[in-house]
Amino acid sequence: MADEKEIQEKTIAEDIVVTKYKSAGEIVNKTLKAVIGFCVADASVRDICTKSDNLILEETNKVFKKEKDLKKGIAFPTCISVNNCVCHFSPTKNDPDYVLKTGDVVKIDLGAHIDGFIAVVAHTLIVGASADNKATGKKADVVLAAYNAVQTALRLLKSGNSNYLVTEAVQKVAETYKCKPIEGMLSHQLKQFKIDGEKTIIQNPSEAQRKEHEKCNFETHEVYAIDVIISSGEGVGREKDTKVAIYKKTDENYQLKLKASRSFYAEVSFYLILVFYNRL
Ligand SMILES: *[C@@H]1O[C@H](CO)[C@@H](O)[C@H](O)[C@H]1NC(C)=O
């Protein structure tokens, strides 16, 4: 069974797969551009996330229309995480919103897929900053550190290189700006319909994480999503009371016993169906 699966796995060795990745890439690039424009003082983060997710659906609707059974759409809901919030802030209809202020450091993160081939993009900006009104100090340092760390990581993502080469390079760049990569964050290999493939790149691992985390070399035709998150602080995430709005469905089956669990599951499934209808 496992062998059969291995043989059927589609990679960028096939042109059609490259075409689908490119199409997803163009869509997230276009959406990101629009979202950057939405990030101004007094804008609602919830509105921005909603508009962005709708854009992804609209754009993915326009491509590969002839293939009726082909799945496409949102691969990762739009997140707008501000200042100390590390990532994954994407308030739903009933969650508390956040209104952007001048000087906020805004991290945008979103993903689209065509036939399960995923493109994700991220970008950091400072609200109100421009060529005439440049960001300064720690905020400017942390954004530059992240930019240069990503550029370095991208150049090291070559077949034969080890994942720890990227780990060490990102660390060095961050330290040049007196910043720290967020401890333990992982960049994952991407596969068709899989946003968290088995090979990963860790950033700023603790001693324990370094022992646990698997070393590997990159290979031809593998695809990765590089996730670099840099902090001007200690670089260690702490749990706060903000509500989580992003969940991942596992393949596990479980008999739900509580009425509340069943109604929650129904709500989540309903939302997935809505997204699916939007796609048609
Ligand atoms: C998306 O934008 C990035 C950054 O500008 C660029 O390097 C990349 O080629 C673009 N991807 C596509 C598929 O247009």
Residue 271: what pLDDT?
58
224-249 tens-digit pLDDT: 999 999 999 999 988 887 777 777 77
Residues with beta carbon inside 6 Å of ligand 1? 22, 25-26, 29
Domain span including residue 222 = 10-277
Is 1 among the domain residues?
Answer: no
Q: Are 80 and 133 in contact (CB under 8 A)?
A: no
Closest-CA residue, ligand 1 atom 2, reads 29
Rounded Cα gap, residues 179 and 181, in angstroms = 7
Distance of CA 188 from the midpoint of ligand 1 (Å): 19
Please check the confidence at residue 211 and state whether its pLDDT lies above 80: yes
* pLDDT for 22 beyond 60: yes
Whether the predicted pLDDT of 252 surpasses 90 = no
Q: Is residue 5 part of a domain?
A: no
Least Cα distance to 121 among 130, 137, 109 occurs for 109
pLDDT of 256: 84
Nearest atom, ligand 1, residue 21 CA: 13
Confidence tier at 176 by pLDDT (50, 70, 90): very high
Q: How far is the CA of 3 from the centre of ligand 1 (A)?
A: 35
**Residue 86 within any structural domain of the chain:** yes
Is residue 2 included in any domain, yes or no? no
The preferred substitution site among 29, 59, 155 for testing ligand 1, maximizing ligand atoms within 8 Å of CB, is 29
Over residues 138-150, the pLDDT tens digits come to: 999 999 999 999 9
Q: In DSSP terms, which residues pair with 106 in a beta bridge?
A: 82, 125
Residue 85 counted as domain residue: yes
Residue 108 lies in a domain: yes
Please, are residues 105 and 139 in contact by the beta-carbon 8 Å criterion?
yes
Atom of ligand 1 nearest to the CA of 25: 13
Number of domains forming the structure of the chain: 1
Whole-number Å distance, alpha carbon 110 to ligand 1 midpoint, is 14
CATH code, domain carrying 236:
3.90.230.10
Q: What pairs with residue 124 in β-bridges?
A: 107
Closest CA to 118 of 25, 242, 245: 25
pLDDT of residue 4 exceeding 60: no
* Distance from residue 27's CA to the centre of ligand 1 (Å): 10
In a domain, 96, yes or no: yes
Which ligand 1 atom sits nearest the alpha carbon of residue 23?
13
Please name which of 89, 14, 100 lies closest in space to residue 241, comparing C-alpha atoms: 89
Q: In the chain, which ranges are E strands? A: 72-82, 105-114, 117-126, 180-181, 186-190, 200-202, 223-225, 230-231
Separation of first and last alpha carbons in the chain: 33
250 CA from centroid of ligand 1 (Å): 31
* Mean per-residue pLDDT of the chain: 91
Residue 272 pLDDT class (50, 70, 90 cuts): low
The CA 25 to ligand 1 mean position distance, Å, reads 7
Q: Using the atom order of ligand 1, give the atom closest to the CA of residue 22.
A: 13
pTM metric for this prediction: 0.88
Whether residue 271 is contained in a domain is answered as: yes
DSSP bridge pairs for 117 = 114
